[in-house]
Structure 1
């Protein structure tokens, strides 16, 4: 298949929607109080995590993500995905930019040039470094369904797909999904395997890996808590924050639902404080380059 055909197919599937079509218009009820007993901090489960390089993003209008930014100079962001290994199975977190774009050596322009996407190495090739096949992954969870997080979701056809109900409802609403920047081609085949959840959820039942509802960036955005026995507990941020600077300023992107985002900040802050977890920000380039990537496992 030619590059031109690939791009036409992706564009026709609304893979690259207009800027206004990522705005979260959904207002959900305030989250329930956090049940801290769901979160293990003992480090007594043999859990490990490996970081996958899922693409690069040049944000040419960073004030879209951080209205408090002092200027609108382009910034480099990365796109991180993660494999979590647990004695009961493996969970893949976020699915990055579609592997097909690795053939587009100079990357692609997105949203009228507001972003530049590129893929330097495929998700599949990095799983091979870990001796893992996508078909062997038991669980898949995406922080949300924006196209830079869902691009390779379809590869995990045998996985149980853990998704928050507000995200699921929009994802399969034929009138609404495009207005939220979702691309059904990425995830429609996973619908039979979906486990729809509401709120926080222990993936393996022991508190070592917990999905945390953190609505605001999208209707059913979620983050992921992982209790690593040696490194210590961490939370994978999804798009709760896009950079360390955004976190420092508590910046809310212009397309977020503002009140929900503030509640999500507060909720995650409470969990970070109570558990002593470290927040890993998956789009932050500085943090990404500081860390080791697959085939390395953090334990």
Structure 2
């Protein structure tokens, strides 16, 4: 008798915004070779086994204007390029509740949201009195998730868990108290959607965490967790690196420069 093999999924990254930045803003302690280092913003989609799961919900054009981000396109509207109807999406994984990962939650009216319980405690707890930590949250997003919890639409986790066969959630913490990343079984093996466990390839490669930090020790351990979960470094997808768009192919010509396919082999 053999074990049943998990489904094989496709994974897509939608690039919906960007901002100009410098290397010194992306590494705790700065960088001795300071220079331009832009940051991209992504929403991810997992397709297969008769379902489409969205990972994170991006931010709105209003928030982009408020935070001086360059808004390229609405990530929820862009789902149409992948034949995904947001009204029909049943599951949205929220890696954490920072403004750029939860802002369009209201565009998924049928979804159950999957969140580490520690993140809700953090976003509504005593640490939010400190602007150095609360600046990464939009209070209306947090209140919106509290309301959805009262509607029984938030499923909480107290650590790592299986969401579906071949799709697992992994608690990491560090950047935010309840940060999680996602592993997905694909045609090229397990792909790790790191989200903000590592913003850039260089954060995890050099073991220099990003500057927005709740617990630096957990951020360093998060790099270890990513590597332990991945067959190779090429199977880890950082959360904000423009190199992702260069390393992976568009699924079709209409998606060029907008969407890349992460279950394909990188260039």
CA contact (8 A) 1:154 1:186 kept: no
Matched with 1:151 is 103
Match of 1:26 in 2: none
> CA–CA distance in 1 between the matches of 2:240 and 2:262?
19
- 1:210 to partner: Cα distance: 0.5
**Inter-CA distance 292–119: structure 2 relative to 1 (3 Å threshold):** farther
- What's 2:140 paired with? 185
CA distance in 2, matches of 1:287, 1:46: 21
Question: Which whole-Å deviations, capped at 9, do the CAs of 1:167-212 have from their partners, x for residues lacking one?
Answer: 01123448837743222323515333110101111111x2x11111
User: Secondary structure at the residue paired with 1:176?
Assistant: helix
- What is the distance in 1 between the residues matched to 2:250 and 2:73? 12
Gaps spanning 5+ residues in structure 2: where? Answer: none
Q: Aligned-pair distance for 1:74?
A: 3.1
2:184 aligned with 1:226: yes
Q: Distance in 2 between matches of 1:60 and 1:150?
A: 25
Alpha-carbon separation, structure 1, partners of 2:235 and 2:201: 12
Cα deviation code 1:52-87 (max 9, x no counterpart): 112112224634434352233231111111111232
Q: Which runs of 5+ in 1 are unaligned?
A: 1-41, 102-106, 111-115
Distance 2:127 2:220 in 1: 28
Does the 8 Å contact 1:211/1:225 carry over to 2? yes
Of residues 90, 99, 115, the one that matches 1:138 is 90
Contact 1:135 1:158 in 2 (8 A): yes
- Structure 1 window deviating more from structure 2 (246-255 vs 157-166): it is 246-255
Distance in structure 2 (CA, Å) of the matches to 1:125 and 1:91: 15
Q: Give, in angstroms, the shift of residue 261 of structure 1.
A: 1.3
The question of whether the paired residues in 2 share the 8 Å contact of 1:97 and 1:119 is answered with no
Alignment TM-score, normalising by the size of structure 1: 0.72
How many pairs are equivalent? 245
Deviation, 1:266, is 1.9
Equivalent residues of 1:81, 1:282 under 8 A apart: no
Residue equivalent to 2:15: 53
Report the Cα distance in structure 2 between the residues aligned to 1:184 and 1:135, rounded to whole angstroms: 24
Q: Which residue of 1 aligns with 2:192?
A: 235
2:76 pairs with 95, 99, 124, which one?
A: 124
Please say if 1:90 is aligned against 2:47. no
Runs of 4+ in 1 over 6 A off after TM superposition: none
Match of 1:291 among 248, 251, 264: 248
CA contact (8 A) 1:216 1:261 kept: yes
3-state SS of 2:69 partner: strand
Alignment of 1:161-172 (within 5 A): 161-172=113-124
Q: Distance in 2 between matches of 1:169 and 1:290?
A: 37
Match of 1:271 in 2: 229
Higher relative contact order, structure no. (Cα contacts within 8 Å, ≥ 6 residues apart)? 1
Q: Is the 8 A contact 2:192 2:229 kept in 1?
A: no
1:298 CA displacement: 5.2
Give me the whole-angstrom Cα distance separating, in 1, the residues matched to 2:110 and 2:51.
12
**Does residue 261 in structure 1 map to residue 219 in structure 2?**
yes
